[in-house]
A and B are shown apart, each in its own frame.
Chain A
Amino acid sequence: MDRSKFFRWIIWIITFFIIIAGVWFYHYILLYIIVSSIFAYLLFPIIKFGDRLQIPRPISILITYAVIIFLIILAINVIVPQIRQQAEEGAKVVKKAQTRLNEQKEGSMDISTALKTIGIEEFADVIKDMNSRFKFIDLDRHLNQMLDKFINLLAEIPQFLLNSISSIINLLAFIIVIPFISFFLLNDERKLMRAFFSVIPNRYFEFSLYLFEKIEESFGRFFRALLLETFIIFILAFIGLMILNIPYALTLSLIVGLTNPIKFFGPFLGVIPIFLVVLLGPTPNIYLLYTAILILIIQQFDSNYLFPSLIGKKIGMHPLWVLLTVISGGYAFGVVGLIFAVPVVFLIKTIIQVSAKSLKEFEII
Chain B
Amino acid sequence: MSLYKKIFKQKPKTKVDTEKELTDFLSNVYLFKNLSNTDIRNLQNYIHKREYKQDEKIFKKGYPNIVMYIVKEGKLLRYLDYDKAKEEGVEIEAGHFFGVIGLFIDEKRTSTVIATKPSVLLAISKRDIKNFIAEYPKAGAKILYKIGKILSNDIVDANEQIVELEEENINLKEKVEDIKSEEDNG
Tell whether A pairs with B.
yes
Chain A contacts to B: CB under 8 angstroms:
4, 7, 11, 48, 51-52, 190, 194, 197-198, 202, 205-206, 209-210, 213, 358, 361-363
B45 proximal to A (CB < 8 A): yes
Residues B60 and A363 in contact, CB atoms below 8 Å apart: yes
* A3: nearest chain-B partner, CB-CB: B3
CB distance from B57 to the nearest CB of A (A): 8
Residues of B within 8 A of A362 (CB): 63-64
For B3, list chain A residues within 8 Å (CB).
Answer: 4, 7
Q: A4-B3, A52-B136, A205-B123 are in contact. Are A198 and B64 (CB under 8 A)?
A: no
Please pick, from A7, A48, A198, A358, the residue contacting B135 in the complex, using a CB distance under 8 A: A48
Given A7-B3, A202-B52, A209 and B66 contact (CB-CB distance below 8 Å): yes
Q: Which residues of B lie under 8 Å from residue A194 when comparing CB positions?
A: 45, 47-48
B125's partner among A52, A202, A213 (CB-CB below 8 A) is: A213
Check A190–B46 contact: CB distance below 8 A: yes
For the complex, give the distance between the alpha carbons of A213 and B123 in Å.
15
Do A213 and B127 touch (CB < 8 A)? yes
Per-position 1/0 for B55-82, Cβ under 8 A of A:
0101110011011000000000000000
Residues on B close to A: CB < 8 A?
2-3, 7, 45-52, 56, 58-60, 63-64, 66-67, 123, 125, 127, 135-136
Q: Which residues of B contact A206 (CB under 8 A)?
A: 59, 63-64, 66-67
Distance to closest chain A CB from B46 (angstroms): 7
Is A205 touching B52 in the complex (CB atoms < 8 A)?
no
B125 to chain A, nearest CB (A): 5
Nearest CB on B from A337, distance (A): 33
| Whole-angstrom CA separation of A197 from B45 in the bound complex | 13
Inside 8 A of A11's CB, which chain B residues have their CB?
A: 7
A51 to B43: give the CA distance in the assembly, Å: 12
Across the interface, do B127 and A205 meet the contact criterion of CB distance under 8 Å?
Answer: no
Contacting pair A361 B64 (CB below 8 A): yes
Contact between A197 and B127, CB atoms less than 8 A apart: no
Residue in B closest to A194 when the chains form the complex, CB atoms:
B48
Apart from A202-B56, A210-B64, 12 more pairs, CB < 8 Å: A4-B3, A51-B135, A190-B45, A194-B45, A194-B47, A194-B48, A210-B66, A213-B125, A213-B127, A358-B64, A362-B63, A363-B63
A7→B2 CA distance, assembly (Å) = 11
B135 touches A209 (CB 8 A): no
A189 nearest CB neighbor, chain B only: B45
Query: Roughly how many angstroms separate A4 CA and B7 CA in the complex, as a whole number?
Result: 12
Point out which of A52, A206, A363 has the most chain B C-beta atoms below 10 A from its C-beta.
Answer: A206
**Which residue on A lies nearest to B137, using beta carbons?**
A52
17 A-B interface contacts by CB (under 8 A): A51-B135, A194-B47, A197-B48, A198-B48, A202-B50, A202-B51, A205-B48, A205-B67, A205-B123, A206-B64, A206-B66, A209-B67, A209-B125, A213-B127, A358-B64, A361-B64, A362-B64
Q: Return the contact of B49 from the options A7, A198, A363 (Cβ within 8 A).
A: A198
Closest chain A residue, CB of each to CB of B56: A202
Query: Which residue of A is nearest B115, CB measured?
Result: A202
The closest CB in chain B to the CB of A8 belongs to: B3
